[in-house]
Amino acid sequence: MFRIGVLVSGGGTNLQAIIDRIEDGYLGNCEITSVVSSKEGVFALERAKKHGIKAVCMPRKAYADTNEYSVALANHFETEKVDLIVLAGFLTVLSEEFIKKFENKIINVHPSLIPSFCGKGFYGLVPHQEALKYGVKVTGATVHFVNGEVDGGKIILQKAVYVQEGDTPEVLQARVMKEAEHIILPEAIKILSKS
């Protein structure tokens, strides 16, 4: 089996998309060995538990700094013998050492068509607010490898989503998740699980 660790910080809709595709057989050769949250009490942990997946809270604030936190995460994922680490709405920047240790084994889904509306500070609603402010007609999502530059790793997949008249950031965010993120994240995992 291709073993996946998932890092989350919130509701876990992208986690759910992966779980659904494992359960429907699309990712039949994959299993999520653990879900780790950087925040306590997030719904993503409940989603994991509901599906019998190990759910662990490792709050960032419990560690002295990013390096100490990254060492703890690395130890966890090494113990789990993961083949891939998926950042699914994970809002903590990982250390360079962590990224090197799991080089080409960490992917992220970002809610825009990189290189637009990405980089430091572009998370949550911000990419959608900026896309609307700029007036783009097409936005979307990108799955990419994680490297030392925020949203700077090699692109694996992208999917476009049309901006519609009257979109608010919240409405656009929901459409990008449904029409792009939840589709291309499992697709990228499938590609990597076969390589």
In the set 51, 76, 110, 182, the catalytic residue is: 110
- Res. 195: pLDDT tops 90: no
- Estimate to the nearest angstrom the gap between the alpha carbon of 86 and the chain centroid: 5
Helix axes 126-134, 169-176, angle to 10 degrees: 110
Task: List, in order of start, the domains of the chain with CATH numbers.
Answer: 1-102 (3.40.50.170), 109-195 (3.40.50.170)
52-95 residue pLDDT tens? 999 999 999 999 999 999 999 999 999 999 999 999 989 888 99
110 is catalytic: yes
164's tokens:
């519609």
Say what the pLDDT of residue 143 is.
98
Q: Which residue from 190, 187, 185 is spatially nearest to 13, judged by alpha carbons?
A: 185
102-154 residue pLDDT tens? 999 999 999 999 999 999 999 999 999 999 999 999 999 999 999 999 999 99
